[in-house]
Amino acid sequence: MSKAKTLFITGVSSGFGRALAQVALSRGYCVVGTVRNAAAKAEFESLHAENAFAYELDVTHFAAIDAVIADVESQVGPIDVLVNNAGYGHEGVMEESSLEEMRRKFDVNVFGAVAMIKALLPFMRQRRHGHIINITSMGGFITMPGISYYCGSKFALEGISDTLSKELAPFNIHVTAVAPGSFRTDWAGRSMVRSERSIADYDALFDPIRQAREEKSGKQLGDPLKAASAMLVVIESSNPPAHLLLGSDALGLVRQKIESLSAEIDCWETLTRSTDG
């Protein structure tokens, strides 16, 4: 690096946000992170005497975001990279899961990320420089029973990211959607919200899925620190990708989905073409 970049990472207390902050700080980056309380703020800032800064912010408190971004820009310095990492998992059969659970899911995983972007874009656009990284998921490409709300939120963020990359290209602002597979984070553990079971018809389909996910939690193939190093490669790239999969499981499953989708499109091509005027 010719100049240490400043990263703003939402959710630096755990998961990918924590791993990325740790690796970035060890390599000389300045890292600003959001935390949920004063104790977490003190703990994060103790990681580095000069380059670690924490702000207490819930990304669903949309009205508070502009002031935080403005304060970072004036007190810490220009933000080079925004990493929208804050989010959580939701597991539950859709018919059993409340609409309120869905609203909360989208508030955090989608609206919170968009609010962060909208607060920072005027600064990046004025500088004609910046990089936005949205942590999505392989669940933004593939689906499986029992995580429809989660997949829906990640599909939404993938679509927003891809569109935004085209809107911001003229301003030298890059957008990358990073889609991890299964990693050893708290996603399937304490960070997972699980809807209560209530409809016996789904037992045979869903109960084994829930049990397997709980048993595999903490034993996943992916290493969060290696994911952090991969993200830093993208951050330092002069031509970063619009989409990046992380993990061999994500690679295999997404390729399978693309092949299946392509075959289905081919199968129904005649009907598809039949609607032209």
Q: Is 218 exposed, middle or buried (0-12, 13-18, 19+ CB in 10 A)?
A: exposed
* Residues 118 and 230: beta-carbon distance below 8 Å: no
Q: Which positions are annotated as active-site residues?
A: 150
* Residues 16 and 224: beta-carbon distance below 8 Å: yes
| C-beta atoms surrounding 128 within 10 Å | 10
DSSP H helices, 169-217, are: 203-216
DSSP H helices, 46-184, are: 62-75, 99-106, 112-127, 148-168
Phi, psi (degrees; rounded to nearest 5) at 92: 170, 140
- CA-nearest of 5, 174, 164 to 80 is 5
- Give the distance from CA 254 to its chain's centroid: 17
Range 58-75 burial, b when 16+ CB lie within 10 A, else e:
bbeebebbeebbeebbee
State how far the Cα of 197 lies from the Cα of 121, in Å rounded to an integer: 42
